[in-house]
A and B are shown apart, each in its own frame.
Chain A
């Protein structure tokens, strides 16, 4: 245990925690926008798997991370169109439609992986700031700043993007006309409709933003791990959905929740590699995220009220 409580190990664990938090954060921020508009998307995990595979395979074939990220987002966008069409225009029940998207993503990503790749082949890892072509030199010395250097500067660009997305999503929801419409259709779609706000259009766009971010979250996961395998997410997308409740539909609290999960995961892996806990106990430790989720939902869910129209399809009559 004592070897864990050294400054260098603790800092490294925190840095890893931030990195692990990114897929949670991206997916949960996207889901926050969707839920604020009144749409629950339980298919996030499936969209992440498809986006993750798309990104992985693209990098494997083209060696371009940028292309991989683009494909991840595009896959998410496409799945979002399917989900939005079914739930917004066909008024399908959201819970079961989301499960359908998840199962499709789980199965189809594995099928594509088996057919196109077969055995896991690693791809080149995402560069951290100091390894970025051209500008890496600027950041290299910063990492050596004692204590905070590694924590702040030893990350890839997606990490910074995800963190900047937190204030951006807050601004989008609270300050823009679109955000006002999103909040209105999530609370009282009849009221929004009576003033000429298109409930369908607003929800459609909110779902597309959410699913694109889910696709990006999947891409981030596979590119950070530089690998793909069957069920790579291992339920991460579901925890991201729970994080939205955990975070009371507020981006900053969603960030707090994502960091907590990142920390739990990072600590477990660190303890395992330091042999602090035996392999058998590590399986139990792997349940920590699920247990935290359940506890958090039990304690918090009854206290905060979510969007009033969440999961309720809207039609005029």
Chain B
């Protein structure tokens, strides 16, 4: 090895990076490096400082102090363009693609015109095909992005970086939207890229993926590096504890509960999506008292539409039937569904679950504001209301400076706890929870899971829609897989495997 000092020089070194925002120290003396040909994972909860560090690397933020070196030389990265020029590529979590433009146009964006006022898209397409062939990134350069699947869009993002000769590629939560099979395909591509000498920074919080793909792992918590390890030296439990800073339970304990009667009954439910095409196709499902049914599937396969229909937010087609405890809710509005005993924790918590500008008290009152116990004549009884809010905030350990804090200023986990507090306080018979812990820190997720399990123990029927297979496998008693609007498989948890579920999620 002595004769190969160049190979040992890191591709990227970030030394003592510190970056503060008003009131927050986002990166506190963080050091991080990546060698050519390795996958170095950045692991951490939301707000741990991963995104800030990567935005600094990509020239979107300027660090307060610290130094970036590329190939051993001090680098000044002042904008995304200068990052790209220095052969740093980034695949953003939310794809940076223009849906109405073709693959070739998306790849060519930002490149100088090479034919007068025009960009030679034929040449671009040719080069895309070369890259596609080299790495097995099959995609048609002439097709518009909106026609592509999520997995194909991600390939376009990787091609964009490779087209610009990226030597260092940052992938921000690349597996969040993929099926397990697509994740396997992605990992094959990434390994081939590292074999060709590309350095990869992989950002994820899915621990088994991190352990599978990484050469090295750096863990961040509250802006500081709290762990620097390799998959051989660690395991899921230890990684989770490094992320959270205390002991965590990755697999919640589920007490035995005797199954009761079917409380939620769906019969031949068909629903049209926003585009007027059938999004939910003839779905029938019973959920019993004391049972958690997990609905697995890649998002966009009808889960959102199904949830909205159960909640009374989207009309079902003729012939469908939705019943809760023998009350027909097929044509119900949200108030009627709630009156029948449904609690709904929506997928988009800031859009459908809470009003960002409202304070804690107001959001906790959203479904009860008509209740006589909160009124004094025609007016609100604010003393009672605040007492009620304080009780819920304490009971569900919502961390907030005060009851008057605007909800949008809370963290994702605390907003979700707030919504859970409101929904569970209504003593539901059926809980419909969509992506209950997406974007939520491990501590809050743990708490939310324990609350769902407690509701299960007292005989509530729970439907949990989730894209996170770990969550489904950890909580559900039965698992239904949705693909293209249909429930393609229902299996008991005891016989479910990740592989079989993954296959079903991909329609296989």
Chain A interfacial positions (CB closer than 8 Å to B): 175-178, 180-181, 183-184, 187-188, 190-197, 308, 316
Contacts and interface: CB of A to CB of B under 8 A. Distances in A.
B118 A177 contact: yes
B118 A175 contact: yes
Interface stretch (B108-116, B306-314, B415-423, B460-468): B108-116
Given A176-B118, A177-B118, A195 B80 contact: yes
Given A187-B100, A191-B96, A316-B60, 13 more contacts: A177-B113, A178-B117, A180-B108, A183-B98, A184-B109, A187-B101, A191-B97, A192-B98, A193-B80, A195-B80, A195-B160, A196-B79, A197-B110
A180 B119 CA distance: 9
Interface string B451-478: 0000000000000000000000000000
B206 interface: no
B79 A195 contact: no
Among A175, A176, A191, chain B packs the most CB atoms within 10 A around the CB of A191
Contact of B109 (A175, A176, A181, A308): A181
Contacts of B108: 180
- Listed from nearest, the 10 A-B pairs whose CB atoms lie closest are A195-B110, A196-B81, A191-B96, A177-B113, A196-B110, A194-B96, A176-B117, A184-B98, A187-B98, A195-B109
What is the interface of chain B mostly: helix, strand, loop, or mixed? Answer: loop
B393 interface: no
A184 B99 CA distance: 9
Interface of B: 60, 79-81, 84, 90, 92, 94-101, 105-106, 108-110, 112-113, 117-119, 160
Nearest to A181: B109
9 contacts: A177-B112, A177-B113, A180-B119, A184-B109, A188-B97, A191-B96, A191-B106, A195-B81, A308-B99
Contact of A192 (B99, B100, B109, B118): B109
Contacts of B84: 195-196
A191 B117 contact: no
Nearest to B102: A180
Contacts of B112: 177
B23 to A, nearest CB: 15
Given A183-B101, A184-B98, A196-B80, A191 B118 contact: no
Contacts of A190: 94, 96
Among B100, B110, B112, B119, chain A packs the most CB atoms within 10 A around the CB of B110
A219 B90 CA distance: 48
Contacts of A195: 80-81, 84, 96, 109-110, 160
Contacts of A192: 98, 109-110
B80 A194 contact: yes
A180 B96 contact: no
A191 B119 contact: no
B81 A177 contact: no
Contacts of B97: 188, 191
A160 B474 CA distance: 70
A188 B96 contact: yes
A172 to B, nearest CB: 8
Contacts of A188: 96-99
Contacts of B118: 175-177
Contacts of A194: 80, 90, 92, 96
Nearest to B90: A194
Contacts of A196: 79-81, 84, 110
A79 B400 CA distance: 48
Nearest to A194: B96
B127 to A, nearest CB: 16
A67 B303 CA distance: 63
Given A180-B108, A197-B110, A191 B60 contact: no
Nearest to B61: A317
Contact of A180 (B81, B95, B105): B105
B101 A184 contact: yes
B191 to A, nearest CB: 26
Nearest to A175: B118
Contacts of B79: 196
B109 A191 contact: yes
